[in-house]
Structure 1
Amino acid sequence: MKSEDGVVQGVPIEEIEKHPNVKFHRQGILDDDVQKYGEDTKVVKGGSHPEEWSTDPLQRTVVNPPVYHNSTVLFKTTAAYKYAASDWPFTGMWYGRHGNPTSWALEEAFAVIEGGYAACATGSGVAANNAAILAFVESGDHLIVTDGCYDPTREFCNGFLKRFKVETTYVSPLITPDELAKEIRPNTKIVFVESPSSLSFEIMDIPALAKVAHDAGAVVLCDNTWGPLVFKSHEMGCDVTINAATKYIGGHSDIMLGLISAKDETLYRKVKNSVRELGCPPGPDDCYLALRGLRTLGVRLRQHDVATLQIAQWLEERPEVARVMHPGLPSHPQHDLFKRDFTGGTGLFGFQLKPYSEKAVESMIDNMKIFAIGFSWGGYESIVMPTKINNVRSVEYWDYGEGLGPTLRLNIGLESVEDLIADIEEGFKRLNAAD
């Protein structure tokens, strides 16, 4: 809270906050000029304050922020200390755990591209999801979560939240607004959405669902890791949007980091305090790498999208494939919703083979030359992973019935499309030979 008299050494705090050197060092304040620019310019300029990144007497500076490694913060005067203490951790430099100019530059850049008021960085995408949820629930509360959520989110709800008497109801990713209204209780505080769904890629009607949630007084949290830039979750009605920056924002498979954007100041302060209480900040080096990755996010996503659609279309024609789960394809059941709400695609999708043995599938993917086997995605390299969707479902089960076999997930990287198709084609030869 602010000091009782609202004054630091005879100067009102409001006057201190007007000083140009204070603005950047106070989280939650975005550069209004950036908001008027186009999407690609926002990606490049969001959170960029080169005038703050140098003490050179001729005002020479650098493109990227320095990497601040700090725990202790030093205050030159008691007035500076009192200002920082007046509303911490919202007044800038206070203690290393609550951020520094490196992390604030990343947070501001993310808030700009998401269209939020301000953002918080955490040490992983899982920490971002968990901190965002904990900002809005307490013992005795209830939340509604899509059955297509990221598996660690389900584990957190079924384990941690359950131990503290917070109840979770899972609902179909294809739930209608009327169906959602029937699931909401007086103590429902959160509706948690993720679109496309993890592993199965259904598209939710988020604007309609958000309206129902808001009418009931619940906040809408969205895991938007699949669609940064291409899905504007705040515009679609989401109060808080979460991104595992480990993936597309980092873009190089070498960091662990999460980001949370809040639509307004009230929501932001709740999220920031939740992150503060949990003590889950990211390292400054990871923040630096994530910010550098974010600057090329637009061009990378466009390349991922083009290549992925080509490969998805090719897979639809293959005799080994029963169906392709990519919302950008006209064959996808929610393709019209995707076209309405998304401005493009990314590099992650799944497909379902016709009935093949597990041994045959292993033979297919074990000897790929370009695709590697791995859990994560969003990097420049292509990855394949066998999936068992129903292992992480409790309501809307995936059909593995007659004529439908194993499922695989592909992350399409930045390699040549022709080479990737050739690698999959050779894999299909091994698949058929083994079967």
Structure 2
Amino acid sequence: MNRQPIVVALRALRQTLLGPDARPERPLLARWPRLARYAAPAGLLAALGLFWITLTVESNWGLPPPIALLFAAMTVAPLLALPRRPLLAWRLGLLALLVCTFNAPDDQAWPWTPPLALGSVVVAAVVFARVDRPVLGWLVTISTVPVLTLVDAENRAAVLALLGALAIVGDLIRRNRLSRRALAAQTELSEREQERRAVLEERTRIAREMHDVVAHHMSLIAVQAETAPYRLTDVSAPAAAEFVAIAGSARDALTDMRRLLGVLRSESAGPQIAPQPDLADLGAMVDTARRAGLPVTLDAGPADDGQVPAPVGLAAYRIVQEGLANAARHAAGAAVRVTVRPGRSTLTVRVQNAPPDDVRAPHSEAGAGHGLTGMRERATSLGGTFTAGQLPDGGYAVAAELPYDVEGGDR
């Protein structure tokens, strides 16, 4: 015999009657923050008005003032507890339905006052939409007790139909809310996965470019070490052997790099045989942007030959390239200023554009593709820093600090 349904039913009954009352995940007016600030004062005034109406009705029925005050308080209490403690509100409402029925005059068609009946419907509608199905089943079952025992036979069917309709609608509302929540969570997960994939793809592309640059320099080391004994005079035998060892080590390193980084190349991406761009190619790129209609000003400081390493020059070139593309895409017609300042140990790169002509399409990281992600990855892969953001005047700027030596020494 499967005891699982019995265990679930007993747990739901315990939660219904005595169990903890979980607080709602979101306030009732979370979607309307401006309205939510007035909810507490308005609710308090409504509760006071309902208390006064109930007290008036009970007094007209001839109840003593202390009993009328008690019954009026029991009518209002479930509504006060409803926003944060729905199950407690249902329990208080059920107690009010059972207790406040023995005070109605004989000529009344309903055993409860209009405020109590209307408040019970509101409490049931809210609570039924917040609990799961096992608890909902017990709530509906127990709620039929005062209906079957206190309501007249001619009105009993209508009340039971209303109770069933509230249960069905509440279950549908809860399932719809759970579906939307699951869809939102899945959407957020997909967005994070896409962002993570974009970061990995950008890192892979950067690693491929870095591999090409380092492989080029390692090849030069191997060639220079092999030809050094023939280019230099009076090279001793130990020195020649040392050059041969250097060349062999360089070629071994090249082989290991190809094995290690070979997986970074996809089947569709062949080896890049074109030379990698550097700072010397910034002028040509700026001229191309000008011919395309982008007003660009290049401010590049002087740099000694060999001062800026090739990986740093490549990263600076790509950052400027992406910065110009973003400016053309998001701030068409705005003036752009590119600043490249080589220092003693770092290279400063900054791409700044004026406010766009169309103020309805400002810069933002959301929806801007993966350009900012790629620039940030390039800077951080070299141990540098990257910042991007909107300026006070409405423009936008990206800036990067690229160190020559990640370990902190001057080149």
Taking structure 1 as the reference length, the TM-score comes to: 0.19
Larger strand fraction of residues: 1
Larger radius of gyration: 2
Larger helix fraction of residues: 2
